[in-house]
Structure 1
């Protein structure tokens, strides 16, 4: 028995759900009035808390009285780079109308019948369990960074009879001997909502990018498979020309969709990659300084998932680069010897267009591929080594 073939809506469920965590409804799913109000209030609290926390952080950095050791300097460097990274991605996903437009175009193109979905092997392109686990681990490790201090305080209470009132971010100053408990609770609530805004913006934007790129890659594979399977002949020239004309139109349409994708994400992709590399560097150095602690352990997991996050963006960027080129190879290997001259002219059009690679790019000039990932990791390693030497 054939497994159930995933629909386009099934693919959209993961990126949509991730953004719901911070109350942001990307696709404008119909909701009751009360639910809409609750979403709006929660969304406002996340953004407002983020604004307050960033404001306090900037104040502490300008004041510079409380940043008095190397560990704190690296902690602030980590926070600054991560905030820039997350806010860049959040600004990208605020282009909701453009994202919805691209989503509608891809939904139109998605295979409609079960047989068509089987032919396009849509299930092979669906979110793998390992990817879903990666998203869960990323969000989970980020949660642990936030709740780790209160867990440490609870452990201290049961082992030493003293609740230490620790919290996540160093820019909030709390003195349990002078300040009431509700201030501590308020600080933690602010930190939780602030972290939710940053973490979900960070991972969520990349999931939407991958979601669209996977769909485009799926259709390029469909073109390649169609060309490999089709055997033209002058005996059924009219049907052959209709077939190849559809392939030409689809190739042009996919290039247009990729340009739309680059238009939405490309402007922020370069800054996003650079700040992600900076986050990896600063978090790695901070973790090495802190040593083997609960916080250090959660940061190690966070670094691993962040590296995988960058790798996946580069991996799917490499895929579209390769697949767009493989279209020309599929034409070369195509059994077109019995085809008409008109059919062969269509093939020539496909080959000429395939010479210009389709790519995921940053700001129109930096192609995102596995080479980009290698260069980014190489630079990150050198920066980590340099920072550790400077500190020592």
Structure 2
């Protein structure tokens, strides 16, 4: 018996559901401008700003711990251990700042994409939306799992370990340790009340950093998926257009519509670059050092620390790959438009039609891309360069540490 197909079309907000809900969990409401409850909006803003003030105080504590640990060679490994967490925190912070500053641009971008989104089931089949959505869901699920696994493991492993030792293994004392290396201006382990308040404060800060880091990339995945879907649709329409010689007026109207559609997609890509360019620049600069320090911890630590840092390493590498993969996908989808235009039966059409088609092909030779400042367009080649640079830093660090 065949499974019955879902007859309801996928709304644009359905594709946005995961990043929107996770953002709301830290107080960031992307669609606050549509809210009919101003009190709820105000409370979410207070929750967001309070959380980020707390988070940045913790980051300052990590930085103080880092510089104190650099003073002595005996504690330099602790500085290396906290360095990836500082890098992750700074990238999360900068992504949230970019999101806040570019909120109007983001809203305009999402509203344009929502207007362009195919509304009926028939149209969505033409756009092959289900194929794009299926890939997008898999990517979102994998990256979300890794990112939350990293923050959860770092946050709760010390408490779980201490609880097992104290309650099940007969240890006389409960080890009051934290998952992150942070300097405090007070004794955070002096008694249970201070310890557990501080512990949950750190856990919330870690969750907020993880969500800010995660959701910016999930939004990028949703947006690039949509734009690639539109480029793919343009390519399909161009390649399958019959180009009947006796219908020159209809041919020109069709091509003018496709050119305008193509131009709108290119403008959306520029909006993405305006929103993400600087945060991606910091992301890639930090990624090489971050992967290097994490890899060093994996090679120089105990088994339990290795497992924790392996999750962190996978998260960092998958995040860089994710951005590079979607950058590569965007380049390929936009280049495909020119190939599709050339593959149609243009030789049956009028000279003026061919002239317009030539302009479309020429424009498509400069592909749409994600471009951080001073960086070439992001693609899978970028990923290989980041990994190569990380290995070079790692080899230098290992050599320097071994010589001393």
**1:362 aligns to what SS in structure 2?**
coil
| Equivalence for 1:140 | 149
TM-score using structure 1 length: 0.93
Whether 1:106 and 2:106 are equivalent positions in the alignment is: no
- Which of 381, 392, 395 is residue 371 of structure 1 equivalent to? 381
Distance in 2 between residues matched to 1:258 and 1:141, nearest whole Å: 31
- Which of 54, 58, 61 is residue 56 of structure 1 equivalent to? 61
| Equivalence for 2:208 | 197
Distance 1:285 1:213, change over 3 A: same
Q: How many residues align?
A: 390
| Equivalence for 2:97 | 91
Q: CA RMSD in A?
A: 2.2
Deviation at 1:38, TM superposition (A): 4.1
The 5-angstrom pairing of residues 1-392 of structure 1 reads 1-3=4-6, 4-28=8-32, 29-30=34-35, 32-33=37-38, 35-61=40-66, 68-94=74-100, 95-126=102-133, 127-158=136-167, 159=169, 160-172=171-183, 179-293=190-304, 295-363=305-373, 365-392=375-402
Distance in 2 between residues matched to 1:329 and 1:262, nearest whole Å: 25
Unaligned runs of 5+ in 2: none
Deviation at 1:277, TM superposition (A): 2.3
Deviation at 1:139, TM superposition (A): 0.9
Deviation at 1:230, TM superposition (A): 1.0
Distance in 1 between residues matched to 2:29 and 2:65, nearest whole Å: 34
Distance in 1 between residues matched to 2:215 and 2:24, nearest whole Å: 10
Distance in 1 between residues matched to 2:288 and 2:218, nearest whole Å: 18
Per-residue CA deviation, residues 258-297 of structure 1 (Å, 9 max, x unaligned), is 111111101221111111222221122123222201x431
> 8 Å contact 2:65–2:181 — kept in the other structure?
no
Distance 1:282 1:213, change over 3 A: same
Distance in 1 between residues matched to 2:364 and 2:209, nearest whole Å: 39
Distance 1:364 1:385, change over 3 A: closer
**2:384 aligns to what SS in structure 1?**
helix
**1:69 aligns to what SS in structure 2?**
helix
Distance in 2 between residues matched to 1:25 and 1:195, nearest whole Å: 19
Distance in 2 between residues matched to 1:17 and 1:364, nearest whole Å: 34
Deviation at 1:168, TM superposition (A): 1.8
Distance 1:2 1:364, change over 3 A: farther
**2:243 aligns to what SS in structure 1?**
coil
Unaligned runs of 5+ in 1: none
Distance 1:65 1:288, change over 3 A: closer
Distance in 1 between residues matched to 2:392 and 2:139, nearest whole Å: 29
Distance in 1 between residues matched to 2:280 and 2:16, nearest whole Å: 21
Distance in 2 between residues matched to 1:69 and 1:53, nearest whole Å: 20
TM-score using structure 2 length: 0.90
> 8 Å contact 2:287–2:386 — kept in the other structure?
no
Distance in 2 between residues matched to 1:278 and 1:72, nearest whole Å: 16
> 8 Å contact 1:233–1:340 — kept in the other structure?
no
Deviation at 1:18, TM superposition (A): 2.2
Distance in 1 between residues matched to 2:326 and 2:85, nearest whole Å: 28
**Comparing 27-36 and 372-381, the one that deviates more:** 27-36
Distance in 1 between residues matched to 2:352 and 2:88, nearest whole Å: 56
Displacement over 6 Å in runs of 4+:
none
Distance in 1 between residues matched to 2:36 and 2:159, nearest whole Å: 36
Distance in 2 between residues matched to 1:337 and 1:382, nearest whole Å: 53
